[in-house]
Amino acid sequence: MAAHRVLVVGVGSIGERHLRCFGKTGRADMSLCETNEHVRTTIADRYAVQHAYANLDEALSDHAKDPFDIAVVATPAQLHIPMAMQLAEAGIHLLVEKPLSTSLDGIDKLMVLIKQRQIKAAVAYTFRSHPVLRSMQQAVAEGRFGRPVQFVATFGQHYPSFRPMYRDIYYARWATGGGAIQDALTHVINAGEYFLGPADRVMADAANKMLEGVEVEDTVHAITRHGDAMASYALNQYQAPNEGMMTVVCERGTVRFELQNNRWVSMTEPGGAWTTEFTTTLERDDLYINQASIFLDFVEDKGQPTCTLAEGLQTLRVNLALLAEMREPHWRLTEPH
């Protein structure tokens, strides 16, 4: 199979992973674009990347001579839409990192352009590439357990262990896509919409409780409505265990995704036992290799994207609503009896 020419725009931590994992599919010839000279040369040397561009204009100039098939936009979130517009104008298929943006500005124009140019586009929400979660979602979507009525998610990790430089990267500022809502909870919200459909109402409480050196929130409690279905989310970025669970309560049974165990389980009899439905072993890069393979299939008309641009836009709307709730909470005060 001929390799696709893939350009990764921005090769910080997540961009480097995209570069590595698209390469691991064996279906992609990788190039990169990075404004930071030290990062650019380090990553290019690490992965023997022949074409490493200092800016997007330079990359697009080369595209005119040797076209890219695909671009992965992995820059800070406020740059996603302007860069995606440039790439779409050049006719390049797009995988855009989450969140899609930090505002709604320009997204309508991007979607019109993508339709006009017949460009394939998706948003990189990795839970939708998780084989266990995909298996559970399929079982729910097929109606095996009846209609979903409630979704409950609890997640936590020790963020400084994963990102020791968190004070110096995008995470430290809301404007660049930082804070727990835009960084971590957005993945879980997107997964909730994977099961329940779009959220149409939200409420939230969020604050910085533990992470030092930043003002952005590291703790979130949120609730959403998806039509008649209800959902709740609790997430923090400082606890010792790295774990997460998503429970979907349906009319005829309950299913649960356990991130730390890479399995999903079900229970249909009240007071019964959990039945393991599907489990697997995953290495650190596997979700991103899966995501890359699924996107390459999409470009080749062999499958559908895990998260469409419209679905990514919907989750962005939830992000923005939750941030607004955090900044202007609507508390109902209790009164003494």
DSSP state letters, 245-263:
EEEEEETTEEEEEEGGGTE
Could you read off the pLDDT of 8-17 as tens digits, one per residue? 999 999 999 9
> Over pLDDT 70: what percentage of the chain?
99
Question: Would you state the structure tokens that stand for residue 117, as one six-digit string?
Answer: 């140019």
- How many Cβ atoms are within 10 Å of 29's Cβ, its own excluded? 17
For 25, left (φ over 0), alpha (ψ -120 to 50), or beta? alpha
Q: Which of 64-68, 172-176, 222-226 has the lowest mean pLDDT?
A: 64-68
CA angle 34, 81, 287 (to 5 degrees): 65
How far is residue 232's CA from residue 222's CA, in Å, rounded to a whole number?
6
For residues 76-91, give the mean pLDDT.
98
Q: Given this model, what pLDDT does residue 2 score?
A: 63
Residue 139 DSSP SS3: helix
Same structural domain, 139 and 30: no
Question: Would you state the structure tokens that stand for residue 240, as one six-digit string?
Answer: 């010792």
For 313, left (φ over 0), alpha (ψ -120 to 50), or beta? alpha
Which CATH number do you get for residue 277?
A: 3.30.360.10
- How many Cβ atoms are within 10 Å of 188's Cβ, its own excluded? 24
Residue 201 DSSP SS3: strand
Same structural domain, 187 and 277: yes
For residues 54-74, give the mean pLDDT.
95
Identify the bridge partners of residue 154 per DSSP, sorted by sequence position: 234, 245
Could you read off the pLDDT of 173-202 as tens digits, one per residue? 999 999 999 999 999 999 999 999 999 999
Does 186 fall in a domain? yes
User: Domain boundary residue among 78, 98, 119?
Assistant: 119
Asked if residue 319 lies in contact with residue 206, where contact means CB atoms within 8 angstroms, the answer is: no
Does 219 fall in a domain? yes
Q: pLDDT class for 337, splitting at 50, 70, 90?
A: low
Same structural domain, 114 and 150: no
Same structural domain, 25 and 114: yes
| Prior bond of 99 cis (ω within 30°) | yes
Question: Would you state the structure tokens that stand for residue 59, as one six-digit string?
Answer: 């990359």
Same structural domain, 49 and 150: no
Same structural domain, 134 and 84: no
Q: Given this model, what pLDDT does residue 320 score?
A: 98
For residues 25-36, give the mean pLDDT.
97
Mean pLDDT of the chain: 96
Q: At 120, which amino acid appears?
A: K
Tell me which residue range forms the domain holding 321. Answer: 128-283+316-327
Does 300 fall in a domain? no
Does 288 fall in a domain? no
Q: Which of 42, 28, 107, 110 has its CA nearest to residue 71?
A: 28
Which CATH number do you get for residue 102?
A: 3.40.50.720
Same structural domain, 89 and 143: no
Number of domains in the chain: 2
Please list the alpha-helical segments (H only) found in the chain. Answer: 13-24, 37-46, 56-63, 80-89, 107-117, 131-141, 159-162, 180, 186-196, 286-299, 309-327
Same structural domain, 99 and 134: no
- How many Cβ atoms are within 10 Å of 269's Cβ, its own excluded? 8
Does 290 fall in a domain? no
Does 192 fall in a domain? yes
Same structural domain, 199 and 98: no
User: Domain boundary residue among 102, 119, 136?
Assistant: 119
Identify the bridge partners of residue 151 per DSSP, sorted by sequence position: 231, 248
Same structural domain, 77 and 142: no
> Over pLDDT 90: what percentage of the chain?
95
Does 107 fall in a domain? yes
Q: Which of 220, 224, 221 has its CA nearest to residue 197?
A: 224
User: Domain boundary residue among 119, 150, 167?
Assistant: 119
Same structural domain, 101 and 135: no
Does 64 fall in a domain? yes
How far is residue 41's CA from residue 23's CA, in Å, rounded to a whole number?
18
Same structural domain, 13 and 112: yes
Q: Given this model, what pLDDT does residue 333 score?
A: 86
